[in-house]
Structures are given as structure tokens and as C-alpha cells.
Amino acid sequence: MIQTVNLSLLHGMYAGGDWSCVIEIPGESSLEDLHDAIQQAVEFDNDHMYEFYIANSYCGKKLHRYDCDDGIIVDTTVAQLFAAATGKKVFYMFDYGDSWLFQLTKSRKKPHAAEAGITYPRVVSEEGTKPDQYPDWDEE
């Protein structure tokens, strides 16, 4: 079944403003697949470490942590992540130096069957100013 996930930028070294998007992804996709979908959505270079975590707030104690260096990232599905987060919030941190932090929420839209001819995951909508991972700097 296809899950609809809302992704919102909370913080980033070079964030230029508010940005969010909606991603459709199969619920059985791994967290690594979700990471790849997010990287494609923001058009980042996928060249840093990342993690997903569940907490009451972005700066709260991490109740569950899914680190990219741990096999759990490929063994845990998107559906399992949101099931574990009932009553809590889900966050995605990319690049611990520049601290790109996103919040993920499961849409109220019910999971649905994949549509014929559609490739998933996919971005279905986007709002705001897309973040720039490496902004151009004027060099003198």
C-alpha cells in the first residue's frame, strides 16, 4: 500500500525559508529508501550521514533512533516507523555538521493501492523555497 508522507524543513545551515513537500512511497519501503526519496525531493548530493528518530519534539530525548550505519535502517519499513511513532513525532536529520532537520508526518490520507503506470516513491506536491545544500559563494 502507498503511504502519503508530509515532509517539512525545520532547520538547515543554508535554509532560505520555509519548504515542505508531500511524498508517496510504498509502506513496505525501507528507511533507506525513504532517505533516498527525501534526498531526491530536496536535490541534495546524498554525501553525509543521516538518521531518523522518534521523539516528543525535535530537541527532545530520542525514543527510537534509526542510524544510517546500523542495519536497522534497511530492515525497518516506512509503515513500521510510523507505527512505532504513534503519539510521537518523526524526524529526519541529514549532515550532522550543517544539521538539515526535517519533520515527517503521516498524511490523513489513507494508504492506497499503487496506481498503474506510476513510479514510486514520488513527490506529489511542494511548497516554499527548496533548500540549497551548497549555496554559491562569491569568491574574491
CA distance 66 to 71: 9
Q: How far is CA 18 from the centre of its chain?
A: 15
Question: Where do the structural domains in the chain lie, given as residue ranges?
Answer: 2-128
CA distances from 5 to 25, 97, 121 (A): 8, 26, 10
Which tens digits make up the pLDDT trace of 57-80? Answer: 877 777 888 998 888 899 999 999
pLDDT computed for residue 62 by the predictor: 75
CA distance 32 to 14: 24
pLDDT computed for residue 137 by the predictor: 58
**Residues 36, 42, 47: CA angle, nearest 5 degrees:** 55
Which tens digits make up the pLDDT trace of 91-119? Answer: 999 888 788 899 999 998 999 999 999 99
The domain made up of 2-128 is a member of CATH 3.40.640.10:
no
